[in-house]
Amino acid sequence: MNPLSLLPSVDRLLSVAAISSLIDLHGRAIVTGVVREVLGAAREAVKQGGALPSEDALITRVGAGVTAKTRPKLRPVFNLTGTVLHTNLGRAPLPEEAVQALLTAARSPCALEYDIASGGRGDRDDIVNDLLCELTGAEAATVVNNNAAAVFLLLNTLAPRKEVIVSRGELIEIGGAFRVPDIMQRAGARLVEVGTTNRTHLKDFAESITSRTAMLMKVHASNYAIHGFTHAVPEAELAALAHQNNLPFVIDLGSGTLSDLSAHGLPHEPTPREAIAAGADLVSFSGDKLLGGPQAGLLVGRRDLIARIKKNPLKRCLRVGKLTLAALEAVLALYRDPDRLHQRVTAVRQLTRPEDDIRAAAGRLLPALQTALAALPVTIEIVALKSQIGSGSLPVDRLPSAGFAIRPQGKKGGVLNRIEGALRGAAHPLRPVIGRIEEGALLLDLRCLDLADEGEFAAALAGLRVSP
Ligand SMILES: *Cc1c(COP(=O)(O)O)cnc(C)c1O
């Protein structure tokens, strides 16, 4: 007898209780498609001489197939990489206030471009304009999709076919495809590089100003640092030189924390308020780096310049939606109370988390990790680690942290890759755990594991299956 005839039919499988409950959850179309795929694969395997799978095995495969097909691609993960503002993991986690504001805006119509007082048309930038002015000392503000867009838009508005003078030491590349010279060219501006990689002086700028100059620009060298024989022109001097020549002085600040984080034990990072006070006419910065908000590019500065930028038709292409504005407004509101930032803004809380606190979490979770890896030839230790801020913020500063180091017993390192892969657990239904392998150890930095998430993390460990 042909063994293929012993495979159940599509209709037979669809009528099994375990599978009809999948249909209730996900719909007939998806489940039927997976049943066909599973049966097709089984038929092929039997033709190749494989054993006939039991009906239970087929049902399990259908369950796994439906889970894989219906699981969202944008899954939450545990970021144990030690990089707090990890661009590939979505940068800053939002504070609860922002999450709530975002949900409310998502659910119902809201006054995005509507002036409730007059019943007339409003401007979406007005949602955060006053807060941004209050927090930075600027006259006006506008918001676009990210800081790269902000820089592009300001160049395209203020410097088309004109020259922008930048120090050679600041012609940076930010991860991915943001390179200052390329953005400049695409925006239609001409870059004029002055000074040298390590030293730039005021006279370098002064000698390069011509009738074609549109602005002097400073780019915060976010993701690298030059040490040794260096010189950069202080911002106030550049601003004065620009103003003597009737030119705007523009700063791309990159990270843009709104509060002096050195008050919370972090290294000092220049703020938009300081930049404006030093004479900058326009400052751009990211919403989702040290600020701890949603992805956005914020532009603050002189009212007339912001007004010109808002009139650029490209502003319409780069604007943000209501979800971003809702989250941004809520995060900015938290900055009105700088004393409690380190409790309320999630990114700031994670960045300022004391080492002792992280070490205590490691102590609580060690037994769960030991149990999960008990059968494997590895040692597990609680170790001191150094976290980094990430997103190109404060590149040379490291934050004392703690976590686990998993090392192979003996020389074979393959087991670490298997554990690392199992923790990522693309296949299992729990939240993937992302660590890093460094110098022969798998490191799990617990800085970004919130206390409230420890239970879920332990559950992910309990569900861990590592091939021996
Ligand atoms: C990060 C950064 C950017 C890009 O900002 P995004 O918000 O990621 O688009 C631009 N300039 C500087 C100086 C930066 O640090």
Ligand 1, atom 5: closest residue by C-alpha: 147
What token pair was written down for 7? 């495979």
Pair (224, 311) in one structural domain: yes
Q: What is the pLDDT of residue 120?
A: 95
- Rounded to the nearest angstrom, the distance between the alpha carbon of 94 and the centre of ligand 1 is 19
CA angle 195, 197, 203 (to 5 degrees): 15
Domain's final residue, options 344, 365, 386: 344
Residues 332 and 428 in one domain: no
Does the CB atom of residue 125 touch ligand 1 within 6 A? no
Regarding whether 104 and 41 lie in a shared domain, the answer is: no
CATH (domain of 420): 3.90.1150.110
As a whole number, mean pLDDT of residues 317-337 equals 97
How far apart, in whole angstroms, are the C-alpha atoms of residue 334 and residue 97? 9
Q: Are residues 290 and 322 in the same domain?
A: yes
In a domain? residue 449: yes
What does DSSP say about strands 178-179 and 173-174: parallel, antiparallel, or unpaired? antiparallel
Q: Are residues 183 and 224 in the same domain?
A: yes
Partners of residue 284 on adjacent β-strands: 252, 299
**What's the pLDDT score for residue 467?**
79
How many whole angstroms from 255 Cα to the centroid of ligand 1? 7
pLDDT per residue as tens digits for the range 344-377: 999 999 999 999 999 999 999 999 999 999 999 9
- Going from the Cα of 371 to the center of ligand 1, the distance in angstroms, rounded, reads 42
In terms of domains, do 21 and 146 share one? Answer: no
114 lines ligand 1 (CB under 6 A): no
Given pLDDT bands bounded at 50, 70 and 90, which one contains residue 427?
A: low
Domain membership of residue 154 (yes or no) is yes
Q: Whose CA is nearest to atom 1 of ligand 1?
A: 254
pLDDT (average), residues 419-447: 90
Stretch (H or E) spanning 346: helix 346-351
Of residues 393, 400, 292, the one with CA closest to residue 347: 292
- How far does the centroid of ligand 1 lie from the alpha carbon of residue 112, in Å? 26
Query: How do residues 138-189 score in pLDDT, each as one tens digit?
Result: 999 999 999 999 999 999 999 999 999 999 988 877 766 778 889 999 999 9
Does 200 sit in the ligand 1 pocket, CB within 6 Å? no
Residue 22: enclosing H or E segment and its boundaries? helix 17-26
DSSP 8-state symbol, 318: H
Cβ of 146 closer than 6 Å to ligand 1, yes or no, is yes
Residue 467 within a domain: no
Residue 62 lies in a domain: yes
Look at residue 373 and tell me if it is in a domain.
yes
Do 120 and 18 lie in one domain? The reply is no
Structural domain of residue 434, as residue ranges?
78-87+349-462
User: Given this model, what pLDDT does residue 126 score?
Assistant: 97
Q: Are residues 255 and 390 in the same domain?
A: no
> From atom 2 of ligand 1, which residue's Cα is the shortest distance away?
254
Note whether residue 291 is domain-resident.
yes
* 322 within domain boundaries: yes
Write out the two tokens for 287.
Answer: 């919403």
pLDDT value at 222 more than 80: no
For 217, the 3-state DSSP assignment is: strand
- Asked if residue 156 and residue 183 are part of one domain, the reply reads yes
Same domain membership, residue 410 and residue 309: no
Residues 245 and 373 in one domain: no
Return the pLDDT at 392.
64
Pick from 312, 344, 376: which residue ends a domain?
344
| Cβ neighbours for 235, distance < 8 A, ≥ 6 positions apart | 218, 249, 251, 275, 278, 279, 280
The finding on whether 82 has its CB within 6 A of some atom of ligand 1 is no
Q: How confident is the model over 221-238, as a mean pLDDT?
A: 80
Asked whether residue 207 carries a pLDDT value surpassing 90, the answer given is yes
pTM value > 0.85 = yes
pLDDT in the model for residue 229 = 76
Q: How many domains does the chain have?
A: 3
Asked whether residue 468 is domain-assigned, the answer is no
pLDDT tens for 239-280 read 999 999 999 999 999 987 898 888 777 888 889 999 999 999
Q: Is 147 in the pocket of ligand 1 (CB under 6 A)?
A: yes
Q: Is the CB of 220 under 6 A from ligand 1?
A: yes
Task: Clarify whether residues 134 and 184 are in a common domain.
Answer: yes
Which atom of ligand 1 lies closest to the CA of 392?
15
Confidence of residue 1 (pLDDT cuts 50, 70, 90): confident
Q: Which ligand 1 atom is at minimum distance from the Cα of 176?
A: 8
Provide the pLDDT for residue 127: 97
Ligand 1: atom nearest CA of 219 is 13
